[in-house]
Amino acid sequence: MGLEDLQHNFLTGKMEDLVKWARRNSVWPATFGLACCAIEMMSVGAADFDISRLGMEVFRASPRQADLMIVAGRVSQKMAPVLRQVYDQMMEPKWVISMGVCASTGGMFNNYAIVQGVDQIVPVDVYAPGCPPSPETLLHAILTLHEKIRTGEITHRAGSTVPAGEQATGGWVPTVPDAVRVATPR
Amino acid sequence: MSNAGSETGAGAQAGALLAVLPEVPRLPDRSVVQLAFPHRERYAEMVQAFRDAGFETCADLCAVDYLTHPGRSLPDGVKAERFEVVVNLLSLSMRQRVRIRVQVPEGDPVVSSLVDIYSGTEAMEREAFDMMGIIFEGHPDLTRILMPEDWEGHPLRKDYGVGRVPVQFKEAPGPR
Amino acid sequence: MSEHDEDTEATDTEPDTEAEGARTVGTSRHLAEAAALNAETSEGAQELMDRSSTGAGELRREVGAVLRLPEGNFVNPDDIDIERRDDDTMIINMGPQHPSTHGVLRLMLELDGETVLRTKPIIGYLHTGMEKTGEELTYVQGATNVTRMDYLSPLTNELVFSLATEALLGVELPPRAVWIRMLMAELQRVSSHLMWMATNGMDLGSTSMMIYGFREREMVLSFFEKTTGLRMNHNYIRPGGVAADLPDGWQDDVDVICDTVMARTFEYDELLTGQPIFRERTEAVGNLTAEEALALSVTGPILRSTGVPWDLRRTMPYLDYDKLDFDVIVGTYGDNFDRYSIRLNEIRESIKMIRQIADRMPVGDYRVQDRKVTPPPRARIDESMEALIHHFKIFTEGFRVPEGEVYVAIESPRGELGCYMVSDGTSKPYRMHIRGPSFVNLQALPVLLRGGLMADAVAIISSVDPVMGEVDR
């Protein structure tokens, strides 16, 4: 049966809210710090820009125990298969934040050695620009991700454009838009 | 940049260094660095001679591809080739540096390895091989170090493109 | 391992609009791509061979993964335990994604139980082609490229690049520029060593040290942000001087940093230096002798920990370091504890130097007043046509550097950071090679790890302080 057949109705609404609340309040990141952005990611984990208040200070080394992969840094050609392998080892639900311009688009290194954006390899949920993004930017990205989890479908498959359980609309109509403004009043 | 050491001290040391294999061509002294240009065959011998003269460690070994260079200054008797292997040696006791530049031809890019003399050149020579394609004879493990194992080509050569991906509104080459 | 077909869509982020319900356009292409990406990372010749398939000569070479000691110091063959059978040892892979490899370092380890025998570091997972990029950027832009190599001390990368360019240009810097650079370099050393203490403490289990180290580092980074505009990768030290003058009130900021960090180093002494578990874990672990260090071209705190008092700021001074009064910290045994205390005391020495620099900072220009090299102040562009033209030329074409070659080396927190630059008379370097200290120091890793325990391996890697950005460039 599985969650794909989940019906949305007034009975399941509260349950879905509970599941999404649980998911977004303890997103555990996998350590995937590659370069300079990794240092800013560590700063976010440290005391001044604490992500422990968001429940995320446990950076899991094992991808099996992680929900979120923050790709922090430039991905070289040699590293790309490793990235994909780690992403595959993570279990659903999983999200990816592409931190920094090198991870998002290749950044200032438009050459033979750097993959021009990790979205060539893994589906990305949130892009955080900056070189490196300051910790506040990364926190904004994380909170955006929380909003996305809060308003998204419970069975939203990363990378698919048509939500499960809805009529196919030709594949190009976007789903219920994910809220991107952090200050959305509750 | 200032350098510690009295004038006479530096002069005496420079004179002593000139006495190491004096037949090898050199360029006139520039500040405190001597430049020696041994021929390929005498390259390892020169490095060993400098080691015996008190250069305990090899600071750096790299390769340069002079394919598109307009023209560099070389002393008489040195034939310019496409590649150059540049070795920077450091003497802690004399507080001196010395630079050795060997010309390596394109058709036969082989030069002897310095791993027997300075163990620390192992990784540096692998990088020169990986990036420029210069083969170091006698190196125990000459494989690619920075690029993936199955990469083809030597990226730092001048005839190897940068590999830019065209970006919207940035098609024009040149400084960005 | 890849479970279901929907994974192939994961590689396709854009909705295809070619046909109705076109979710699965190009599936076979995506399958092939996913298969290629999921392929095992096979390193071929990089793998450590089983003992049975390597001869005695190869095994002897593999002690320290190809270490040849100078004559008279050959490794005793009996020391290499050639007789161990394959069943006794296990070859495992550590990294490149691992919490304690300090970046993307991959190690192939041969273990006998918990003891590490052979090690082979495999690098290249962060190779960015920076030396090639350096040939495509002008000298003005070069600092932005170089600064991202050693990302824990970006200002030192910029410094060595600028010094090399200025040596080729033949310009003389005004004193204030030199002293601002020294101030920045020493602050950078403080922040880099604090970061090292944080990660080293974390690797040894002390998470409090991680938090403390980052807390102090934030103070330094906020000063950097005030002066240069960025917390990291500043692009502040440029050929010709520095990009901007120090802000008003910088002396008070620097005083606060000095006082706080100095007082906190004594807290670290309480937390770590005297603590028995820390001492047991770091003393006599990862020993290196001076001959091995010099043979392997190791520099920096590792070389000083073996007893060799070599610090480029003292022995071959650059900038105005010969006018400052500081001590060079030297160890005795070449073990982890020596490297730890060298770095801790280097923080204290740097604070001492920063105080002297703050007292004696000269007034004047912060960049050389050569119009061909230094862009004019922004306000003058409105007034003077010449200034506008110079600004335009410098930022589009760049300034030309006469033909020549130079090797400049400075003392970065990791060791001798060198820049070998060849210029051809145009506005871009012909060849820019950076001698990264971590690249060379990693060659010491097999020697350091041999005979130790697996847990010590983590501590030793941490004490070598590799930064993969400058290893791979």
Label residues C359-394 b or e (16+ Cβ within 10 Å = b). eebeeeebbbeebebbbbeeeebeeeeebeebbebb
Mean pLDDT score across all residues of chain C: 81
Which range among A118-122, A175-179, C209-213, C436-440 shows the weakest confidence by mean pLDDT? Answer: A175-179
Q: Which pLDDT value is given to residue C22? A: 36
| Strand ranges inside A22-119, DSSP E | 29-30, 68-72, 95-99
Task: Out of C6, C98, C103, name the one closest to residue A61 (CB).
Answer: C98
A158, A125 contact by CB (below 8 A): yes
Partner-chain contact C296 B65, CB within 8 Å: no
- Closest-approach residue (CA) in chain B for A116: B165
CB contact under 8 A, A77 and B155: no
Scan for tokens 């370097």, then name that residue: C429
What are φ and ψ of residue C346, in 5° steps? -65, -30
What does the alpha-carbon distance between residue C246 and residue C227 come to, in Å, rounded to a whole number? 6
CATH of the domain at B85: 3.30.460.80
* A107 — pLDDT class (breaks 50, 70, 90): confident
Other Cβ atoms less than 10 A from the Cβ of A178: the count is 18
**Residue range of the domain that includes C331:** 130-472
CB contact under 8 Å between C443 and B120, yes or no, is yes
C318's tokens: 């650059």
Confidence of residue C50 (pLDDT cuts 50, 70, 90): low
How far, in Å, CA of B27 to CA of C248, rounded?
Answer: 48
Residue A77 near chain B (CB below 8 Å): yes
From A107, A93, A95, select the one nearest A32 (Cα to Cα). Answer: A95
What angle do helix axes C336-360 and C454-464 make, rounded to 10 degrees? 20
pLDDT of residue B42: 87
CA distance A51 to chain C (A): 13
C327-349 mean pLDDT: 91
- Range name among A82-96, C21-35, C241-255 with the lowest pLDDT average: C21-35
Residue whose token pair is 């479970």: C3
Residue C47, pLDDT > 70, answer: no
Q: How far is C360 from chain B (nearest CA, A)?
A: 19
Residue at C148 is within a domain: yes
Q: Which of A77, A78, A118 best tests the C interface by mutation, with the highest count of C CBs <10 A?
A: A78
The count of domains in chain C is 1
Number of domains present in the structure of chain B: 1
Shortest CA gap A111–chain B (Å):
5
**pLDDT tens track for B72-90:** 888 778 888 889 999 999 9
Interchain contact C210–A (C-beta under 8 A):
yes
Model confidence over C90-140: pLDDT tens digits?
Answer: 888 887 878 766 788 888 888 878 888 778 888 889 998 899 989 988 998
Question: Which 3 state secondary structure label does DSSP give A119?
Answer: helix
Neighbours of C53 (CB within 10 A): 8
Least confident residue range of A64-78, A156-170, B141-155 = A156-170
C-contacting residues of B 42-101, CB under 8 Å? 56-60, 62, 64-65, 69-73, 86, 88, 90, 92, 95, 97, 99
Handedness of CA C257, C259, C261, C262 (dihedral sign): positive
Which DSSP category does C22 fall into?
G
Could you tell me which residues are beta bridge partners of residue C241?
C238, C367
The whole-angstrom separation of Cα C256 and Cα C358 is 12
Rounded to 5, what percent of chain A is helix, strand, coil? 35, 10, 55
Record: contact C11-A109, CB cut-off 8 A: no
Question: For residue C399, what is the domain's CATH number?
Answer: 1.10.645.10
Instruction: Find tokens 């006139």 and name the residue.
Output: B28
Model pLDDT for residues C75-87, shown as the tens digit of each residue = 454 555 555 556 6
Half-sphere exposure of B136 (CA within 13 A, CB side): 30
- Is residue B3 in some structural domain? no
| Cα dihedral across residues C81, C83, C85, C88: positive or negative | negative
Whether residue A21 is contained in a domain is answered as no
The C-alpha of A185 sits at a distance from chain C's nearest C-alpha, in angstroms, of: 30
User: Could B140 and C61 be called an inter-chain contact, meaning their C-beta atoms sit closer than 8 Å?
Assistant: yes
Would you call A110 and B164 a contact, using CB atoms and an 8 Å cutoff? yes
Which residues in B lie closer than 8 A to residue C43 (C-beta atoms)? 149
Nearest by CB: B147 against C127, C297, C433:
C127
Largest CA distance in chain A: 54
- Nearest neighbour of C144 by CB, restricted to A108, A157, A168: A108
Q: How far apart are CA B36 and CA B25, in angstroms?
A: 6
Nearest CA-CA distance, residue C452 and chain A, Å: 23
Partner residue opposite B148 with nearest CB, options A77, A106, A111 = A77
Length of chain C in residues, anyone?
Answer: 473
* pLDDT tens digits for range A20-43: 888 888 889 987 888 889 999 988
Chain A residue numbers with beta carbons less than 8 Å from the beta carbon of C14 are none
Q: Which residues of chain B have pLDDT under 70?
A: 1-33, 167-176
CA distances from residue C94 to A91, C65, C105, C111 in whole angstroms, order as listed: 22, 16, 8, 12
Is residue C359 very low, low, confident or very high in pLDDT (cuts 50, 70, 90)?
very high
Pairing assessment for the beta strands A95-99 and A126-128 based on DSSP bridges = parallel
Q: What is the structure's pLDDT at C147?
A: 92
Task: Find which of C23, C31, C104 to mutate to test the A interface (most A CBs within 10 Å of its CB).
Answer: C104
Based on DSSP, count helices (H) and strands (E) in chain A, helices before strands. 5, 4
Question: In the Cβ-directed half-sphere of C177, how many Cα atoms lie within 13 Å?
Answer: 23
> What CA–CA distance (Å, rounded) separates C103 from C128?
14
Helical (H) or strand (E) element with B25: none
Interface contact flag, A113 B155, Cβ < 8 Å: yes
Host domain of residue A95 = 27-186
C386 lies in a domain? yes
Identity (one letter) of the amino acid at C406?
V
Residues of C within 8 A of B97 (CB-CB) are 316, 407, 409
Task: Say how many domains are in chain A.
Answer: 1
Q: Which two tokens stand for residue C44?
A: 């071929």
Is B145 within a domain?
no
Query: Tokens representing C453?
Result: 């325990």
Q: Do C126 and A123 touch (CB under 8 A)?
A: no
Instruction: Please answer whether residues B32 and B12 qualify as being in contact, where contact means their C-beta atoms are separated by less than 8 angstroms.
Output: no
Length of chain B: 176
What local confidence, expressed as pLDDT, does residue C2 receive? 37
Confidence of residue A179 (pLDDT cuts 50, 70, 90): very low
Residue C33: its pLDDT value, please? 59
- The 3-state DSSP class for residue C453 equals strand
As given in the structure block, the two tokens for residue B16 are: 């002593």
| pLDDT above 90: residue A61 | no
Planar angle of CA A58, C218, A52, nearest 5 degrees: 20
pLDDT in tens, C186-225: 999 999 999 999 999 888 888 888 888 898 899 999 999 9
Residue to substitute from B84, B116, B149, interface C, most C β-carbons within 10 A: B149
Listing from the earlier edge strand, what are the strands of the sheet with B57-65?
A: B26-30, B33-36, B96-104, B83-91, B57-65
> Best interface-test mutation with A: which of C97, C225, C232, C470 has the largest number of A CBs within 10 A?
C97
Does A180 have pLDDT greater than 50? no
C120 lies in a domain? Answer: no
* Residue closest to C123 by CA, chosen among B123, B14, B104: B123
- Would you say C418 and B59 are in contact if contact means Cβ atoms under 8 Å apart? yes
**Helix A135-151, helix A13-24: angle, nearest 10:** 160
Which pLDDT belongs to residue A186?
37
In a domain, A19, yes or no: no
Which amino acid, C437? P
> Residue A82 above 60 pLDDT?
yes
Please confirm whether the linkage preceding A163 is cis (ω < 30° from 0).
no
Q: How far is CA C20 from CA A171, C14, C17, C30, C306, in A?
A: 7, 15, 7, 19, 70
CB C223 within 8 A of CB C254: yes
Model's pTM, two decimal places? 0.84
Gap between the Cα atoms of C194 and C182, Å rounded = 18
Would you call C454 exposed, middle or buried from its count of C-beta atoms within 10 A (0-12, 13-18, 19+)?
middle
pLDDT(C408) > 50: yes
Dist CA C135 CA C423 (whole Å) = 10
Contact of C201 with chain A, judged by CB distance below 8 Å, is answered with no
Domain around B122:
25-137
d(CA C415, CA C280): 26
Angle at B14 between CA B12 and CA B20, to 5 degrees: 110
| Three-class secondary structure of residue B2 per DSSP | coil
Strand duo C429-435 + C415-423: pairing? antiparallel
Residue B164 C-alpha, separation from nearest chain A C-alpha, in angstroms: 5
If we measure between CA atoms, which residue out of C402, C407, C371, C405 comes closest to residue C389? C371
- Average pLDDT, stretch A96-114? 89
Cα C148 to Cα C133: distance, rounded to the nearest angstrom: 12
Residues of chain C in contact with residue A46, where contact means CB-CB under 8 angstroms, are: 198, 210-211, 214-215, 218
User: Is C188 among the domain residues?
Assistant: yes
User: What residues contact residue C29 under an 8 Å CB cut-off, 6+ apart?
Assistant: none
Residues in chain A: 186
